[in-house]
Chains A and B, each alone.
Chain A
Amino acid sequence: EPEVTQTPSHQVTQMGQEVILRCVPISNHLYFYWYRQILGQKVEFLVSFYNNEISEKSEIFDDQFSVERPDGSNFTLKIRSTKLEDSAMYFCASSEGGIPYYEQYFGPGTRLTVT
C-alpha cells in the first residue's frame, strides 16, 4: 500500500541552525500538509500546499518557515533559524483531494530536537 515517507526520523540541531525536513508524499496526491506536535501538546496544523503554492497556513508558520516541492516527488519544510521551541514531532501528510471526502495520509514523523 502506498505510504508517505519522511526523512530523517530524528534530527538534532543547534539553535540558530537551518534544518530541512523531507517528505515523499503518495505519488498521485495533489495536496500536501505539514503538522507538528510539541511533546505533550496537540497536533497542530502548520501549512497546506496545492498547485505549487501555499493554500493555507497557521499563525505558527511565520517567516522562519518555508515549504517547497522541488521536484515531482519531494515536499520539504525548511526552518531557517531554529529556536528551542521548534523542538517537536513534524508530520507530513498528503491527500488526493480536499477533506472530508479525501483522506489525509500521514507519514511517521520527524522528531526535531533543538539544543
Chain B
Amino acid sequence: AQSVTQLGSHVSVSEGALVLLRCNYSSSVPPYLFWYVQYPNQGLQLLLKYTTGATLVKGINGFEAEFKKSETSFHLTKPSAHMSDAAEYFCAVTQGHGGATNKLIFGTGTLLAVQP
C-alpha cells in the first residue's frame, strides 16, 4: 500500500527565508509524486509533479522538489519565502508506471506561515 508522511503540521518562516516542507513516501512500485497548495477558501492547486526523468522538478511560484529514491523523499523547497506563500501544502502519491488508478493518496498537510 502507498502512503505519504509530511513532517511538521505547522511550519513558520520569515519573509525571504528558505522554505523546506518535508514529504516521505512509501510505495512498493515506482511512484508518481505531487505537491498541491491550498489557499484559504480555495481548492487544492497543483504546484508540481514528478513522473519520470529529471529528479529535480520545478513548479509554479518558484517552488521546486527533488525526488530522492534512496531516501524515499520528495521535499518541497523555495529559496526565498514571500508573504503570499502562506497556505497549506499537501504532498500526494499515486502508483506509477502503468498502474491503472487515478487515486491520489495525500499526506496530512503542512500549514506554512510567513512572518514579516
- The residues of A with any CB-CB pair to B shorter than 8 Å are 3-4, 31, 33, 35, 40-45, 48, 55-56, 58, 91, 93, 95, 98-101, 103-109
Asked if A106 and B44 sit within 8 Å, CB to CB, the answer is yes
- What A residues does B46 contact at CB under 8 A? 103-104
Asked if A4 and B101 sit within 8 Å, CB to CB, the answer is no
- The residues of B with any CB-CB pair to A shorter than 8 Å are 4, 32, 34, 36, 41-46, 49, 51, 90, 92, 94, 96, 101-109
Asked if A91 and B104 sit within 8 Å, CB to CB, the answer is no
- What B residues does A55 contact at CB under 8 A? 102
- Determine how close the nearest CB of chain A comes to the CB of B28; give it in whole angstroms: 18
Complexed CA–CA distance, A52 and B42 (Å): 27
Asked if A99 and B43 sit within 8 Å, CB to CB, the answer is no
Chain A to chain B: the 6 pairs with minimum beta-carbon distance, closest first: A106-B43, A43-B106, A106-B44, A100-B32, A45-B103, A107-B43
Complexed CA–CA distance, A99 and B108 (Å): 21
Q: A99-B32, A99-B94, A100-B96 are in contact. Are A56 and B102 (CB under 8 A)?
A: yes
